[in-house]
């Protein structure tokens, strides 16, 4: 039984004060929520504030990236120990914006995934095709390569120590979404790859999220798909009303 998971990816938005104000509003909306897990991923600058505010609540906290080493001369980077110290349960890895703007490769992602697992942080591994790749019929190949390479060298997985997010790049922040059926096809394909790499049991346990222009208006259709277990929400996670509504719509 996979518990639905809704993750807010705040990206490079909100000052600490704004982040605190948003999380206070979310706390009151989710005060006795059951049957769906909620996490928010603020920028590093507000992680500590948000994490403290979420301590006695049902909201979990994650980071948007991390480096694989524990410490050392890596100017500008944040380590898994630092994220653990702040109470992070999740870390988003391999987001397409990191691949596009910061040169993140599958090899980098794989080192980060290994490091996250070693430190008991659940990596949310992002995969997804660009518009050109989709139009060339390469969606499955791209997603397979990204997933297999991100998990390279990890021989055993139970299933609940990772989350996979399928995010078509052309759907991120554009208002366009994959059709729920197409998204479910890719989610099912991801499950088959996981079954192949590990076991059917592992594949059944991994939560697969859809991401890309998720809103209150379309969440129900995505959640109705058999292989989609939740959403990675960008823009709509920055407002308590829209994020609150997305979470509540997952309960019906
Ligand atoms: P979006 O972003 O909801 O704004 O499209 C999703 C994401 O990048 O995780």
Nearest alpha carbon, ligand 1 atom 6: 234
23 CB contacts (<8 Å, ≥6 apart)?
40, 50, 53, 54, 59
Query: Residue 129 Cα, ligand 1 centroid: separation in angstroms?
Result: 14
Q: Does domain 5-249 have CATH number 3.40.50.1000?
A: no
- Which one of 43, 171, 210, 213 would you pick to mutate in the ligand 1 pocket, going by the greatest count of ligand atoms within 8 A of its CB? 213
Nearest alpha carbon, ligand 1 atom 7: 234
Structure tokens at 239: 């407002």
Look at residue 214 and tell me whether its pLDDT is greater than 70: yes
Query: Residue 173 Cα, ligand 1 centroid: separation in angstroms?
Result: 5
Which pLDDT score, from 0 to 100, does residue 155 have?
Answer: 94
Which pLDDT score, from 0 to 100, does residue 1 have?
Answer: 82
Q: Which of 95, 97, 129, 161 is catalytic?
A: 95
Using 50, 70 and 90 to split pLDDT, how confident is the model at 32? confident
Using 50, 70 and 90 to split pLDDT, how confident is the model at 87? very high
Which pLDDT score, from 0 to 100, does residue 179 have?
Answer: 94
Query: Residue 217 Cα, ligand 1 centroid: separation in angstroms?
Result: 15
Using 50, 70 and 90 to split pLDDT, how confident is the model at 56? confident
Q: How many CB atoms lie within 10 A of CB 181?
A: 9
Look at residue 19 and tell me whether its pLDDT is greater than 70: yes
pTM of the complete model beyond 0.75:
yes
Helix (H, G, I), strand (E, B) or coil at 186: helix
Using 50, 70 and 90 to split pLDDT, how confident is the model at 182? very high
Which pLDDT score, from 0 to 100, does residue 251 have?
Answer: 85
Q: Write out pLDDT tens, residues 93-147.
A: 999 999 999 999 999 999 999 999 999 999 999 999 999 999 999 999 999 999 9
Helix ranges (DSSP H) in the chain: 16-29, 44-54, 80-85, 96-102, 106-118, 131-135, 139-150, 180-197, 200-205, 219-223, 240-249
Which pLDDT score, from 0 to 100, does residue 143 have?
Answer: 97
CA 104 to CA 82: how far, in whole Å? Answer: 21
Look at residue 174 and tell me whether its pLDDT is greater than 70: yes
Domain edges within the chain: 5-249
Which pLDDT score, from 0 to 100, does residue 144 have?
Answer: 98
Q: Is 204 a catalytic residue?
A: no
Nearest alpha carbon, ligand 1 atom 2: 234
Look at residue 29 and tell me whether its pLDDT is greater than 80: yes
Which pLDDT score, from 0 to 100, does residue 252 have?
Answer: 65
Given the DSSP bridges, would you call strands 122-127 and 90-93 parallel, antiparallel or unpaired?
A: parallel
- Give me the mean pLDDT over the 83-90 stretch: 98
Query: Residue 235 Cα, ligand 1 centroid: separation in angstroms?
Result: 6
Which pLDDT score, from 0 to 100, does residue 54 have?
Answer: 96
Q: Is 138 a catalytic residue?
A: no
Q: Which of 37, 129, 161, 167 is catalytic?
A: 167
């Amino acid at each position: 039984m996979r518990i639905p998971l809704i993750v807010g990816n705040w990206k490079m938005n909100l000052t600490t004060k704004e982040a605190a104000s948003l999380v206070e509003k979310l706390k009151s909306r989710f005060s006795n929520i059951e049957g769906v897990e909620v996490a928010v991923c603020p920028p590093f600058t507000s992680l500590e504030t948000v994490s403290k505010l979420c301590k006695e609540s049902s909201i979990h906290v994650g980071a948007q990236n991390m480096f694989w080493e524990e410490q050392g001369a890596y100017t500008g980077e944040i380590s898994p120990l630092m994220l653990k110290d702040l109470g992070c349960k999740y870390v988003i890895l391999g987001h397409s914006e990191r691949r596009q703007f910061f040169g993140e490769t599958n090899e980098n992602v794989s080192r980060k995934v290994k490091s996250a697992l070693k430190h008991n942080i659940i990596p949310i591994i992002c995969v997804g095709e660009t518009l050109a790749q989709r139009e060339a019929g390469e969606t499955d190949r791209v997603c397979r390569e990204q997933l297999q390479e991100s998990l390279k060298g990890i021989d055993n997985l139970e299933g609940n120590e990772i989350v996979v997010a399928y995010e078509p790049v052309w759907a991120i922040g554009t208002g366009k979404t994959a059709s729920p059926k197409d998204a479910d096809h890719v989610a099912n394909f991801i499950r088959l790859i996981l079954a192949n790499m590990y076991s059917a049991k592992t594949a059944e346990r991994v939560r697969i999220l859809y991401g890309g222009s998720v809103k209150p208006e379309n969440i129900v259709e995505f959640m109705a798909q058999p292989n989609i277990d939740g959403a990675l929400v960008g823009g709509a996670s920055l407002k308590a009303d829209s994020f609150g509504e997305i979470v509540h719509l997952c309960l019906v």
